[in-house]
Chains A and B, each alone.
Chain A
Amino acid sequence: MIGIISYGIGNVASVANALGHAGVPCALVTEPAELKQYRKLLLPGVGAFGKAMERLRALGFAEAVSEAVLQRETPLLGICLGMQLLASRGYEFGETEGLGLIDGSVRRLDTRGESLRLPHIGWNDLTPAGDSPLLAGLPEDATCYFAHSYVFEPADPGAVQGVTEYGGPQVAVVAKGCVYGTQFHPEKSQESGLQILKNFGAL
């Protein structure tokens, strides 16, 4: 059973719906103490890094999630802002400390001189950059739905397991140990997204 962390930020209903469509049992978790009941965890999120971290800390989830990952090796999937929160720090409005589960920083997407619009919104290629089981079974021309202006840059390039192309390669999937993250929304990415959610459920 996957526990979807419900902390008032992000569209948990959509995530739960999608997991349902993918045949993966899940439930919303509103109390940090309940996290240990779940074999895997999912951290959704949209909006501002600082606000989300504040909420996670205030509710006690920041500590409980770190404990689940570091002490019990509970697989954790962060989606969109949820992936960015895994970082050591974010630079959205000043510097904010993240969960620090994957070393690296969250910065504004750099389109490297190409005059591309931000936020990066729409369907874009997902190109695997490693052999993470999270991306198993995806077609070569898989596209997923992105909606963001900030990107997570892991300190260890080996943590990047998938990229997309928007002013050069941009991080789309990260993985380190039992911690995974997708910048795009698998719950909104139709069959590619469902496959990824199924894969996470099968880990």
Chain B
Amino acid sequence: MVRTRVIPVLFLMNGSIVRSETFSQYKIIGNPYSELARYSEWRADELVYVDITRDTFTSGHRTDHKVKVDSTLIGILREIAKHALMPLTFGGRIFTLEQADEIIENGADKVLINTGAYRNPQLVTDLAETHGSQATVVGIDIWRDDGRLQMKIDQGRHPVDDDPVAYAKRMESLGAGELLVNSIDRDGTGAGYDLDAIAAIAGATTIPVVACGGCGTLEHFAKPVQAGASAVAAGNIFHFTENAYPRAKRALRRKEVNVR
């Protein structure tokens, strides 16, 4: 049976790995290559790199097909791809199929699109038809407005009205092969995943759902899986807790979650 995946998420800002907290505060914690060496040593199941460099352009509105991915990022991706023998997902400010093609050509296995998918849903279908739905990951940044589940775009800056559960279903129907559901208000807080949101989105879809945002202790990892997630992702805990990755797997095994 397919294993539950444990996926480190690495946020890139201006070429460095950063720690984020509620998508508003950032601290540089390392360079992409030293981080990779650690994850390779730990035999990480997969890696997700998200570029969260703040766009000076009107983020999300650039559908200009001449826009390429930042060459520094491509350089980083190529170098990472040379040494990573596990699947790589790359995303952040991807708005066009051409950019996605560039990402795939330079070593990524999957492309993560968030605001790009929201602003231009056709991009989801284009990506799925060109590279396959297994390469098409749609990111949904969720938050709670007085308890009510909502979503934001533009790197967590702009709330939108859409119901995240309905949006998730729509993305699936357009060709998304995976959903990366990230709780922005829990991000970096260590308060635990938004389990009700994961359960609702997993319950409404038939594609794999990856839970992200809020993981603070090893005990948090099993819960999204029990809520229906196919994989659990986390950022900060892997940077700051000693030996967190293998310990996360042990904690999951203790809860009888089938991990590698």
Interface range on chain B: under 10, 10 to 19, 20 to 34, or 35 or more?
Answer: 35 or more
* A188 near B230: Cβ-Cβ < 8 Å: no
CA distance A190 to B81 in the complex (A): 13
Contacts of B107 in A (CB 8 A): 11, 13-14, 17
What residues on B are CB-neighbors of A187 within 8 Å? 85
- Among A46, A115, A117, A125, contact of B132 (Cβ-Cβ < 8 Å): A46
Instruction: Say how far A150's CB is from chain B's closest CB, in angstroms.
Output: 10
> Please, which residues of chain A bring their CB within 8 A of the CB of B131?
46-47
Bound together, the chains give a CA A79 to CA B56 distance in angstroms of: 41
When chains A and B are docked, how far (Å) is the Cα of A48 from the Cα of B134?
11
Judge whether B65 is part of the interface by a CB distance below 8 angstroms: no
A166: chain B residues at CB < 8 Å are 1-2
Query: Does B157 touch A at the CB level, under 8 Å?
Result: no
Query: Given A143-B3, A146-B2 in contact, is the A121-B208 Cβ separation under 8 Å?
Result: yes
Q: Check if B204 is an interface residue, CB within 8 A of chain A.
A: no
Q: How many residues in A have their beta carbons less than 8 Å from beta carbons of B? A: 37
- A62 → chain B, closest Cβ, in Å? 20
Task: Return the chain B residue nearest A119 by Cβ.
Answer: B134
Q: Which residues of A contact B250 (CB under 8 A)?
A: none
Does chain A have a CB within 8 A of B231?
Answer: yes
Q: Is the CB of A13 within 8 A of B106?
A: yes
Q: Would you call B230 and A46 a contact (CB within 8 A)? A: no
A11-B2 contact given A117-B208, A121-B230, A145-B87, CB 8 Å threshold = no
Instruction: Tell me which residues from 108 to 135 in chain B have a Cβ below 8 Å from any Cβ of chain A.
Output: 108-110, 129-135
Q: Is the C-beta of B104 less than 8 angstroms from some C-beta in chain A?
A: yes
Considering only residues 1-49 of chain A, those with a C-beta below 8 Å from chain B are 11, 13-14, 17-18, 21, 46-48
Determine whether A91 belongs to the interface, using a CB cutoff of 8 Å to chain B: no
Considering only CB atoms, which chain B residue lies closest to A146 in the complex?
Answer: B2
B87 touches A147 (CB 8 A): yes
Q: Say whether A120 faces chain B, with CB atoms less than 8 Å apart.
A: yes
**Measuring CB to CB, which residues of chain B are less than 8 angstroms from any residue of chain A?**
1-5, 43, 45, 78, 81-83, 85-87, 104-110, 129-135, 177-178, 206-208, 230-231, 260
